[in-house]
Structure 1
Amino acid sequence: MNEIQAKEARKQANRKAIKFIVALFILYILFSQANLFMNSVTSPDAKYYNATISTHFNYIQGLRTALIVPAVWIIKAFGFYAIYNETDVMVVAGPYLRVNYSCLGLGVMSFLAAFVLAFPAPWKSTFKMLAIGILTIYILNVCRIAGLGVLLGFFESQRQNFTYHHEIFNIIVYICIFTLLYFWIKKNTRKTDKIEVGENDQPKED
């Protein structure tokens, strides 16, 4: 590769990087704000509440229920008796947990979706990573809710020390997601390099 080709390759790389950053920013704002708007639309005391949408298209509550139910199963497996409704989990002789919007993990899901969709990778690999990442976030969140119920049930005197569980959860989730993204990017970058080498570095004829 001569100097002109090297400059052109750098320009293409810079354009791809700028395109990725712009797409990541736009998609993240779109996904995160759409989730916040839907939360407002489906919350009876919110500004944009709509009964029809809340009744038929409330994926916010669907995700909340999908987190609460298996978390309660886990809590019961540890010998506690727990009851729940649409937003709360009460562990008898244990803690009372409320699963708010901020507990659903939609913020980190929005970031993951924006990053994966913005990154230049084959669609099959993109959707696979998206599914694995969202499932990972979901499982970690179920474990967090169940873990709080069990730990606060066993260690009642230590409940005040679990004030920052949101922050701790976010740190753990982002570490896991960035680890997954690192290996995913590495794998897809290697594939891209192979394709470029195959196209540009054909053997010369004598």
Structure 2
Amino acid sequence: MKKYFIQFRPFLVFIGTFFGAYILLTVLYKFYLDSFTGVEADGITSIVSHNVEQLSNVFNYDIKVEKNFGSPWYDVLFNGNYIVRIVEGCNAVSVIILFISFVLAFSGKLKTTLLFILFGIVFIYILNVFRIAVLTVLLYYFPQNNHLLHGVLFPLIIYGSVFFLWVIWVNKFSKYAK
């Protein structure tokens, strides 16, 4: 048995680090979410919602984001028409937790790891704000394609981008890159 632990040690360290970081970050995020009431949106979702509106203003789109006062989400209106709502799951924190856990599991030098994690968080956040803004516009013009746009295309873009970041990390910066 000891022979197998030695042989598979890198894999076991990866799995242990990945799941340890994932569980820890998820539990911390859950405690954060539990600090908000049932009709109050969490702060990260609020910031994402306001950033979607700010981004649309830069491109002269008439997107308004309004807090739904009976629920913990934001309603997104385009040209005065309700299109989508931004809920906690739209803030990309779960994707960021997954990203961080993987990078930590394939860690490299401390400074490089922390800088790459910071870069990844900012990249994923900005990509997510663009995703919501573009999705809003596309759903206004193509509401019949809701499942394709929201359920297939945009998750593919965000998870594909995270996968691309992981490939860069493993091949260029992690201690396994050599």
TM-score (structure 1 length as normaliser): 0.69
Aligned position for 1:16: 10
Within 5 Å, give how 1:8-157 maps onto structure 2.
14-44=8-38, 61-86=42-67, 87-153=74-140, 155=141
Q: Are residues 76 and 95 of structure 1, via their aligned partners in 2, closer, same or farther at CA, if it must alter by over 3 Å?
A: farther
Q: Using the TM superposition, give the Cα deviation of residue 78 of structure 1 relative to its aligned residue in structure 2, in angstroms.
A: 4.4
Within 5 Å, give how 1:157-176 maps onto structure 2.
158-164=142-148, 165-176=150-161
Counterpart Cα distance in 2 of 1:135 and 1:112: 12
- Asked whether the 8 Å contact 1:83–1:90 carries over to 2, the reply is yes
- Asked whether the 8 Å contact 1:109–1:137 carries over to 2, the reply is yes
Q: Using the TM superposition, give the Cα deviation of residue 159 of structure 1 relative to its aligned residue in structure 2, in angstroms.
A: 0.8
- Asked whether the 8 Å contact 1:84–1:90 carries over to 2, the reply is yes
Q: Are residues 71 and 151 of structure 1, via their aligned partners in 2, closer, same or farther at CA, if it must alter by over 3 Å?
A: same
Q: Using the TM superposition, give the Cα deviation of residue 84 of structure 1 relative to its aligned residue in structure 2, in angstroms.
A: 2.3
Give the AA of the match of 2:143.
R
Give the AA of the match of 1:163.
H
Q: Using the TM superposition, give the Cα deviation of residue 166 of structure 1 relative to its aligned residue in structure 2, in angstroms.
A: 4.4
Q: Are residues 149 and 94 of structure 1, via their aligned partners in 2, closer, same or farther at CA, if it must alter by over 3 Å?
A: farther
- Asked whether the 8 Å contact 1:82–1:91 carries over to 2, the reply is yes
Counterpart Cα distance in 1 of 2:76 and 2:172: 41
Counterpart Cα distance in 2 of 1:29 and 1:11: 23
Paired residues, number: 169
- Asked whether the 8 Å contact 1:95–1:149 carries over to 2, the reply is no
- In terms of mean alpha carbon deviation, does 24-33 or 72-81 score higher? 72-81
Q: Using the TM superposition, give the Cα deviation of residue 12 of structure 1 relative to its aligned residue in structure 2, in angstroms.
A: 5.8
2:168 aligned to which of 172, 178, 183: 183
- In structure 1, runs of 5+ residues without a counterpart are 1-7, 46-53, 55-59, 194-206
- Asked whether the 8 Å contact 1:103–1:166 carries over to 2, the reply is no
Q: Are residues 132 and 13 of structure 1, via their aligned partners in 2, closer, same or farther at CA, if it must alter by over 3 Å?
A: farther
- Larger strand fraction of residues: 2
**Alpha-carbon deviations, 1:66-96, whole Å to 9, x = none?**
3222321332344443332342322234343
- Asked whether the 8 Å contact 1:76–1:82 carries over to 2, the reply is yes
Counterpart Cα distance in 2 of 1:191 and 1:38: 34
Aligned position for 2:70: none
Counterpart Cα distance in 2 of 1:190 and 1:119: 7
State the percentage of identical aligned residues.
28
Instruction: Describe the SS at the equivalent of 1:75.
Output: helix
Q: Are residues 177 and 191 of structure 1, via their aligned partners in 2, closer, same or farther at CA, if it must alter by over 3 Å?
A: same
Q: In terms of Rg, which structure is larger?
A: 1
